[in-house]
Structure 1
């Protein structure tokens, strides 16, 4: 049976992924399906960070399924995700406030600027659209999105086109502020949840406050909420040092907020 409205199964920090790798309309995906009864006409699209179909992200996908939502994560990098070893370098740069540019954060072993150039919107978005088209043929009529870092860009794009019914972004990147925030307000009907933190050069405090100014206090009729997790850094909702109590609490809190948002609006 599906979970009751008040029941939330929490996020796990380690374990063995239980979903399956599938090709959907030619696109590699990781799919987790709830046990028992669940709404077959609804799918949560999990749009991952630059590390793609990695262990942490698989576990998150599984945990959304444990809460009653069939969840599909796309490998829109087509096997060319950022090496996970690069994460620690990036976070060290953020904590020390030495992040002059994304490219410098990974130097000399990995050039993130060159990597991003290999995965532009004109390549990534058609892959997402192919998966959505195939899922529609299977009877899916309602889509929600949860996007982490890189994936947050595409949550916004799908909301602009009103493809998605619900939007959740955690420490999003590649957004243009205020342009994308204002466009979302003007064109989207999808309730928006933002999971944010204090140390995030890609969606800094100024952008977070601007989002509140545009959407909050009931101004955005579909619904808006921004969660803020003190002591956390960019990437906390999908990966991070679980020995740090604040980061651990941030990851758990962001997941709980996401499930509550889905239960309210999907």
Structure 2
């Protein structure tokens, strides 16, 4: 693997404050949120936001709004079919059981279940919104599906603290890719970063891996804005993503 599976740290973090400005709706039968840029500043490209296990919530909505403020129509899709996890689950929560079977026992969050949801979102953006240039951002759980869906038309990618990405999936992403990594991350540790560098260098496409010191897995979405190091890393990781899409999308 280019990164390990999710763990308990994937559901811990801080809820951010702010007024969301996008729209919650359905893409097919799946929950979604869309943030639309001002027509005067809209760019020729859109983003599919594939979230972490908390899915569509305050923080991810605010981030989608901010991508829209930078000119990108941004769609968040719920890859968990209505079964995301709440923030800060108690210690001992079995995330692997949830991934395999879902909260009800019959709603798995495996790649066989998630792939069709991502394909539905991409189809919506292309056919309903007329998107010709598509980028994708993937946070933690979502990073795997950025890699997996290059074949479905993702042209530029960004990942933050990725989890569950297999080496062949990373190798299969034949397009520019940027990654934000945390210094303390048992899911995407130094050896996985270095292996990812080897794979991306071999691919021959533009790539970037930025390492943010004194932060942990999940910092780009759930970092504590009251901690200077968290706030700086979170803001810089977002700028990293926007700059990447501005250059390559």
TM-score normalised over the length of structure 1: 0.80
Q: Which residue of 1 aligns with 2:25?
A: 22
Query: Deviation above 6 Å: which 4+ runs of structure 1?
Result: none
Q: How many Å apart are 1:179 and its aligned residue?
A: 3.7
Q: Which has the higher contact order (CA 8 A, sep 6+)?
A: 2
Question: How many residues in Structure 1 have an aligned counterpart in Structure 2?
Answer: 227
Q: How many Å apart are 1:39 and its aligned residue?
A: 5.2
Aligned Cα root-mean-square deviation (Å): 1.9
Give, in whole Å, the separation in 2 of the partners of 1:137 and 1:179.
Answer: 29
Secondary structure, in 3 states, of the residue corresponding to 1:253? helix
Give, in whole Å, the separation in 2 of the partners of 1:155 and 1:19.
Answer: 22
1:110-259 matches, within 5 Å, as: 110-117=93-100, 118-138=108-128, 139-159=130-150, 161=151, 163-176=153-166, 178-181=167-170, 183-184=171-172, 188-216=173-201, 219-259=202-242
Residues 61 and 72, structure 1, Cα contact 8 Å, conserved in 2: yes
Equivalent residue for 1:55, pick from 53, 58, 61: 58
Residues 162 and 190, structure 1, Cα contact 8 Å, conserved in 2: no
Secondary structure, in 3 states, of the residue corresponding to 1:51? coil
Q: How many Å apart are 1:40 and its aligned residue?
A: 7.5
TM-score normalised over the length of structure 2: 0.85
Describe the shift of the 1:134–1:73 C-alpha distance in structure 2 as closer, same or farther (beyond 3 A): same
Unaligned runs of 5+ in 2: 1-15, 101-107
Describe the shift of the 1:180–1:129 C-alpha distance in structure 2 as closer, same or farther (beyond 3 A): closer
Q: How many Å apart are 1:79 and its aligned residue?
A: 2.2
* Larger Cα-atom Rg: 1
Q: Which residue of 1 aligns with 2:83?
A: 80
Secondary structure, in 3 states, of the residue corresponding to 1:150? helix
Secondary structure, in 3 states, of the residue corresponding to 1:73? strand
